[in-house]
Amino acid sequence: MAGRLAENASQAPGAGQFGISHLESFLLRRRTHPEKIAWLLGALAAATLARFAVGAVVTGIPLLFYLPAVLIVTLVAGWRYGIVSLAIATPLGMALFGQPTLFTGPSPVQTAMVTLTVWVIICGVIVAMVHFVRVALNGARYNETRFRKLLDAVSTIVWTTDREGRVLSPQPLWTEITGMAWPDYAGHGWLKAIHPEDQARLRPNHTEPGMQYDADTELRVWHAASADWRWYHARAVPVRNLTGQGEWITALREIHDQKLSRDQRDLVIAELRHRMKNLVAIIDALAKGSRQRDEPAMEDFIKKFSGRLHALGAAADLVLAGSRVSIECHALLRATLAPFLEEKSQRIGLEGRELQLSEQTGGTLGLAIHEMATNALKYGALSVPGGTVSVRWSVAPCGEGSERVTIEWKEHGGPRPVPPNREGFGTRLIRSVPSREREGDVAIEYQPDGLYYRITFVRTAEGPPAAEPKPVLDAAE
């Protein structure tokens, strides 16, 4: 996972710009037209002299000596100058060294025409191939330059190792960060600069499957400038070459301040959760301790107040536990219905896909669900042995960038519900659930087989809808 740091272009002695080899840099260097013309004339002159030098030994192939010249001109000056060199070399070779005789025909003219045609085709293909090689090299050079600039922009350090995690050459950046001099960190010596508690997470998997997956972790590296351990985030990617040999490429980014802030935040949240639970318990104890005995109305009030208090506390605890400002619907319902699930878990069913609700909507929904469950236990489906309750929620697209959320509560097998003469606090509480959402609506139906509540609202779509909702049939599972 870790290894030798990749040198910056300015720090890599003897390396071409951004790691490009000397040959690639030479071939791709931008040249002026006079330089290109000089290359063209020089290559043709060298080919002509070479043909004169071997003229007494080699006969009958005057044009083939100009093939390297065309190739070289195309490589260093581009395809246009390659075509010009071909146009000059063909008549020049025929004029100086006579007609080519590689092919025979009925007449000298036909022989020359066939040879010339084949020559032009061969050279044209070579010019095209060399041109594509230049394009590929130029694209590789651009991509590497772009990659290096990207790394500079995000202030990321990159290094590589072999698949055994060994450092094979000096790395100036590793020395700059840790203060370790070469060869102190050669081989696995770099582990001395990693905190002992983090070293076990850094060793790469030496098996074949281990080279197929990315890996990332947070670790402490010795920082020479501050003389202390500092937190870094390391992400390693396995790479294989054509021969099957593997190596790790790792990006290292300092996260020391963010890590300390996150740890401090987690500590504050944990303390806040602890204090909130204590506060709920104190309020509950004060309420129960202040009631007068043998007063049914007061007992009923305390029971309702305590249930609503714990439902609100459960919803707030979910937000704090997740360190976010949203509540997952299924987790909220499980927490809210926990007192009712102890003995009636098989009679309350929950079904729906993962659904994140805002803190405000989720908190109000928790109070409303507690109210529904309390009423079902006293007057509805949960008040008789065979009654059941099902809670379903779903999300469906309803226009570009929007989705409609539907939450349904349905009771089955209970006493026939009777509409009240006026709306009480519980009904008003249920109707307030979608008040902070767009196009919120609450439908309450007193159906013959039990009460039915439907809460709907529209919100901005969070992502592509799930193919099918995943049912959760037993809330106590």
Q: So what's the pLDDT on residue 443?
A: 93
Two structure tokens written together for 358:
């805002």
**Residue 310 vs residue 218, higher pLDDT:** 218
Residues 6+ apart with CB under 8 A from 174: 4, 5, 159, 167, 180, 185, 190, 193
- Per-residue pLDDT reduced to its tens digit, 5-20: 343 333 333 333 334 4
Distance CA(66)–CA(40), nearest Å, equals 11
For residue 196, the number of C-alpha atoms closer than 13 Å in the C-beta half-sphere is 0
Distance CA(390)–CA(344), nearest Å, equals 12
CA 179 distance to own-chain centroid: 33
Q: Is the pLDDT of residue 364 over 60?
A: yes
Model confidence band, residue 89 (pLDDT cutoffs 50, 70, 90): confident
The DSSP bridge pattern shows strands 388-397 and 348-351 to be parallel
CATH for the stretch 327-477: 3.30.565.10
Other beta carbons within 10 angstroms of residue 187's beta carbon come to 12
**Residue 96 vs residue 345, higher pLDDT:** 96
DSSP assignments along 335-389, one per residue: HHTHHHHHHHGGGEEEE----EEEHHHHHHHHHHHHHHHHHHHHTSGGGSTT-EE
Distance CA(206)–CA(247), nearest Å, equals 10
- Per-residue pLDDT reduced to its tens digit, 445-470: 999 889 999 999 998 886 544 444 44
Instruction: Find out whether the peptide bond into 415 is cis, omega within 30 degrees of 0.
Output: no
Stretch 260-271: mean pLDDT, rounded? 68
Asked if 157 contacts 251 with a C-beta cutoff of 8 angstroms, the reply is: yes
Two structure tokens written together for 87:
């146009």
Q: So what's the pLDDT on residue 476?
A: 39
Q: So what's the pLDDT on residue 408?
A: 95
SS3 215: strand
Distance CA(173)–CA(350), nearest Å, equals 56
Q: So what's the pLDDT on residue 446?
A: 92
Q: So what's the pLDDT on residue 187?
A: 81
The pLDDT > 90 percentage for the chain reads 7
Asked if 430 contacts 368 with a C-beta cutoff of 8 angstroms, the reply is: yes
Stretch 420-439: mean pLDDT, rounded? 84
Distance CA(370)–CA(429), nearest Å, equals 11
Asked if 206 contacts 188 with a C-beta cutoff of 8 angstroms, the reply is: no
- In the chain, the amino acid numbered 208 is E
Q: Is the pLDDT of residue 407 over 90?
A: yes
Q: So what's the pLDDT on residue 473?
A: 42
Q: What is the enclosing helix (H) or strand (E) of 197?
A: none
Q: What is the enclosing helix (H) or strand (E) of 452?
A: strand 450-460
SS3 3: coil
Q: So what's the pLDDT on residue 456?
A: 93
Distance CA(410)–CA(451), nearest Å, equals 6
**Residue 393 vs residue 271, higher pLDDT:** 393
> Nearest 5 degrees, angle CA 374-CA 375-CA 377?
65
C-alpha torsion 308→310→313→319, nearest 10: -90
Domain boundaries, the chain: 31-153, 157-254, 258-324, 327-477
Two structure tokens written together for 289:
């301790």
**Residue 156 vs residue 135, higher pLDDT:** 135
Q: Is the pLDDT of residue 28 over 70?
A: yes
The CA-atom distances, in angstroms, between 98 and each of 62, 90, 94, 101, 244 are 7, 11, 5, 9, 52
**Residue 346 vs residue 393, higher pLDDT:** 393
Q: Is the pLDDT of residue 66 over 60?
A: yes
End-to-end Cα spacing for the chain: 40
Gyration radius of the chain over CA positions: 39
Range among 198-207, 247-256, 265-274, 415-424 rated most confident: 415-424
Which CATH number among 3.40.50.300, 3.40.109.10, 3.40.50.2000, 3.30.450.20 corresponds to the domain 157-254? 3.30.450.20
Of 122-131, 151-160, 250-259, the poorest mean pLDDT is in: 151-160
Q: Is the pLDDT of residue 391 over 80?
A: yes
Range among 158-172, 206-220, 373-387 rated most confident: 373-387
Distance CA(136)–CA(142), nearest Å, equals 10
Token pair 């499957």 is found at 209
pLDDT averaged over the chain? Answer: 75
Q: So what's the pLDDT on residue 455?
A: 94
Distance CA(441)–CA(455), nearest Å, equals 6
Q: So what's the pLDDT on residue 311?
A: 66
263-269 CB contacts, 8 Å cutoff, 24+ apart = 265/323, 266/323, 269/320, 269/323
